[in-house]
């Protein structure tokens, strides 16, 4: 994984293009540019690990180009639960819940990711409160879609959730 500058990107990361993704949809151009300028861009090679199970969850990543696989870990079990594509986010749940990473993330192909730290997320709230509300709604909608897919998979597999 290599940190790159916005001007070094070989991909279209213009606000107009990024708005086509679910996380950036309906955000203003200036707020998207702020996130690009203040966040960390990572160029990730196929097979690279972006983060590992148990690591600190102080940020989340948005996919600007490429695809990644997330492997959820619980105890000694590890299972691929989803593929993250352009315009989607990963790691937001760990960041907002103040938890360690619940799994590991690997690049399926060359990727360009934008890392948004908890501090940048807070700064974004202060500088762009209206856009922050939209971003939070987009992230929540993304989480809701993921919950639906995973809960459907549980039903299809006849998984019974244990009661505590």
Give the C-alpha separation, 61 to 91, whole Å.
Answer: 6
Contact between residue 23 and residue 89 where contact means Cβ atoms under 8 Å apart: yes
Model confidence pLDDT, tens digit, residues 38-90: 999 999 999 999 999 999 999 999 999 999 999 999 999 999 999 999 999 99
User: How do strand 68-74 and strand 40-44 relate by DSSP bridges?
Assistant: unpaired
Note the maximum CA span of the chain: 52
Give the C-alpha separation, 15 to 26, whole Å.
Answer: 10
Give the C-alpha separation, 126 to 138, whole Å.
Answer: 18
Q: What are phi and psi of 83, to 5 degrees?
A: -110, 135
Model confidence pLDDT, tens digit, residues 100-138: 999 999 999 999 999 999 999 999 999 999 999 999 999
Q: What are phi and psi of 117, to 5 degrees?
A: -75, 165
Contact between residue 62 and residue 113 where contact means Cβ atoms under 8 Å apart: yes
pTM, to two decimals: 0.92
Positive or negative torsion for Cα 17, 21, 24, 28: positive
């Amino acid at each position: 994984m290599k940190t790159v500058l916005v001007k070094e990107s070989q991909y279209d990361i213009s606000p107009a293009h990024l708005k086509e993704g679910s996380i950036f949809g309906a955000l203003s151009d200036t707020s998207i540019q702020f996130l690009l300028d203040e966040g960390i861009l990572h160029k990730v090679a196929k097979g690279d690990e972006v983060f590992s199970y148990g690591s600190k969850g102080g940020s989340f990543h948005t996919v600007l180009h490429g695809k990644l696989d997330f492997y959820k870990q619980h105890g000694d079990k590890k299972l691929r639960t989803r593929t993250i594509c352009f315009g989607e986010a990963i790691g937001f749940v760990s960041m907002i819940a103040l938890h360690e990473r619940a799994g590991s993330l690997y690049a399926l192909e060359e990727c360009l990711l934008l890392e948004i730290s908890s501090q940048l997320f807070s700064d974004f709230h202060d500088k762009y409160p209206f856009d922050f509300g939209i971003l939070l709604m987009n992230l929540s909608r993304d989480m809701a879609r993921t919950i639906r897919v995973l809960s459907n998979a549980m039903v299809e597999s006849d998984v019974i959730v244990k009661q505590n």
